[in-house]
């Protein structure tokens, strides 16, 4: 299989919706507990365009199936945080363990470095070991641990914050 990373388009939103909603229903990568309709993703996409924040997809070149996506947006809606972003990487369950998350995160880091982002933040469930390992691979350091700040599937969840300072 051959994959390429490119900017997301509005035509990708249904597949992005499927990837995220699967994680809502089956995983801990997001603590969102209610699946989202296509209007949510259209607004999310348009807001990224307005704010000049990227959304990248990794696409199977043969089938054009979206295997995953990565994005970042503002960390906090206060001007002093304008060079700090919080990012997400999601991979379709049929495409895990192929290095696609690593490729997307590397692409996102490079893009952020070229666009005057100083700090990237990842907020990760304490038991999402694959994501923790991925972020550590790229030099992210754990800078926070917030016990029992959220719930998913009836259990309290702990949030781990990872930070990467870029050379900007």
* β-pairing verdict for 119-125 and 84-91: parallel
Residue 127 per-residue DSSP state: T
pLDDT at 1: 78
pLDDT at 168: 57
pLDDT at 151: 97
Provide the residue ranges of all domains of the chain, joining segments of one domain with +.
3-122
Check the CA dihedral 135-72-21-142 and report its sign. Answer: positive
3-class secondary structure per residue, 79-91: HHHCCEEEEEEEE
- Integer CA distances (angstroms), 75 to 14, 86, 92, 104, 161, in order: 25, 5, 25, 19, 12
3-class SS of residue 29: coil
Q: Could you give the angle at the alpha carbon of 146 between the alpha carbons of 101 and 89, nearest 5°?
A: 15
For the whole model, what pTM was predicted?
Answer: 0.95
Cα distance between residue 140 and residue 118, in whole Å = 13
- Structure tokens, 19: 């990837």
Helices assigned H by DSSP within 32-148? 38-51, 100-114, 129-137
In order along its 168 residues, the chain shows pLDDT tens digits of: 799 999 999 999 999 999 999 999 999 999 999 999 999 999 999 999 999 999 999 999 999 999 999 999 999 999 999 999 999 999 999 999 999 999 999 999 999 999 999 999 999 999 999 999 999 999 999 999 999 999 999 999 999 999 999 975
Fold classification of 3-122 is: Aminopeptidase (3.40.630)
């Amino acid at each position: 299989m051959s994959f390429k990373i490119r900017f997301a388009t509005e035509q990708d939103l249904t597949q992005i919706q499927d990837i995220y909603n699967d994680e809502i229903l089956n995983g801990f990568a997001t603590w969102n507990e209610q699946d989202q309709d296509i209007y949510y993703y259209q607004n999310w996409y348009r807001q990224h365009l307005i704010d000049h924040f990227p959304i990248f997809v990794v696409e199977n070149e043969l089938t054009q199936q979206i295997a995953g996506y990565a994005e970042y947006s503002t960390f906090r809606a206060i001007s002093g945080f304008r060079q700090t972003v919080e990012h997400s990487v999601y991979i379709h369950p049929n495409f895990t363990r192929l290095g696609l998350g690593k490729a997307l995160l590397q692409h996102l880091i490079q893009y952020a470095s070229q666009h005057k982002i100083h700090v990237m933040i990842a907020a990760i469930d304490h038991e999402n070991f694959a994501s923790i390992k991925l972020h550590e691979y790229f030099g992210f350091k754990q800078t926070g641990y917030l016990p029992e700040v959220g719930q998913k599937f009836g259990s309290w969840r702990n949030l781990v914050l990872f930070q990467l300072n870029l050379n900007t």
